[in-house]
Structure 1
Amino acid sequence: MTVQDPNVVDANRNEQAIGLAVSHPTQDVTVVSVSGEIDMLSAPALRTYVTTNLVHEGTFVLDLTGVSFLGSAGLAVLVEAAQESRTRAVAFRVVAADRAVTRPIVATGLGEVFAVHRTLDEAIG
């Protein structure tokens, strides 16, 4: 039997824990779709992806409908994205329908910091 040291981080899991994709449904709307688990290992990849795709003006939508876990590191990325969007004069919206995502947002009061929508069409429209 092998016992794994809980202090050892699996480096192979880092960016593979989440899927990231960008789309532009209209000229002034950028949608970053995320799937998987957003935790302390995957949040840096999300942060980089959000920072790269958050442009000046228009609307930036972070679609979390494919996310199965949203930890505190992921919540921090959402707060940073909301702050950066204000700096860049961008409307920031989050799409979340699953309880694994909506519950931490509600519990921390972040639903008051940025707009949370149940569907992508609602967020864009």
Structure 2
Amino acid sequence: MTVQDPDVVATSGAESAAADSPRAGQLGLDVRTATEGVTVVSVSGEVDMLTAPQLRASALQHLDAGSTLVLDLSGVSFLGSAGLAVLVEASQQATRRGAGFRVVAVERAVTRPLAATGLGEVFSVFESVQRALEADESR
């Protein structure tokens, strides 16, 4: 049995693919402007009590009056209660600021907690970023 140093990043083989995804305790955030006034924040990794503050800061930063934030959680492998609290706060802030708020959820790790808590009925949840953007256009 071999033990790999956790600080060494693989540069080839199957292990290198894992190097592209966030480690436990880390959150990947990719922010892009889809169209004028619409920001998409793609999230990857685990959203738990350690990473939720990072997600919260990014989400609230991109909620501007008259704009729309699409939070793409399709790359999330775990969504804990701290992450759910961030979604609730972002939704409330969007309402207060007159902004749109959309959630993209496709993985069971995200859809199950949303359904179990009833939050899937509270947020505008879509199966793809494209669908979330199309819904914004029809407003």
TM-score range, shorter chain: 0.7 to 0.9
Residue type at the aligned position of 1:35: S
3-state SS of 2:31 partner: strand
Pairwise CA RMSD: 1.7
Unaligned runs of 5+ in 1: 1-12
Who is 1:28 aligned against? 37
Who is 1:115 aligned against? 124
Aligned-pair identity in percent equals 58
Is the aligned partner of 1:76 residue 2:85? Answer: yes
* Over 3 Å off, 4+ runs: 13-16
Unaligned runs of 5+ in 2: 1-21, 135-139
Q: Deviations over 1:18-71 (max 9, x none)?
A: 101111110021111100000000001111111111111121100000000000
Distance 1:62 1:15 in 2: 20
| TM-score when normalising by structure 2 | 0.77
Tell me which of the two structures has the higher relative contact order, counting C-alpha pairs closer than 8 angstroms and 6 or more residues apart. 1
Distance 2:67 2:61 in 1: 15
Q: Are the equivalent residues in 2 in contact too, given 1:96–1:119 (CA < 8 A)?
A: yes
- State how many pairs are aligned: 113
From 27, 43, 47, the counterpart of 1:38: 47
| TM-score when normalising by structure 1 | 0.86
Distance 1:76 1:14, change over 3 A: farther
Distance 1:47 1:89, change over 3 A: same
Who is 1:64 aligned against? 73
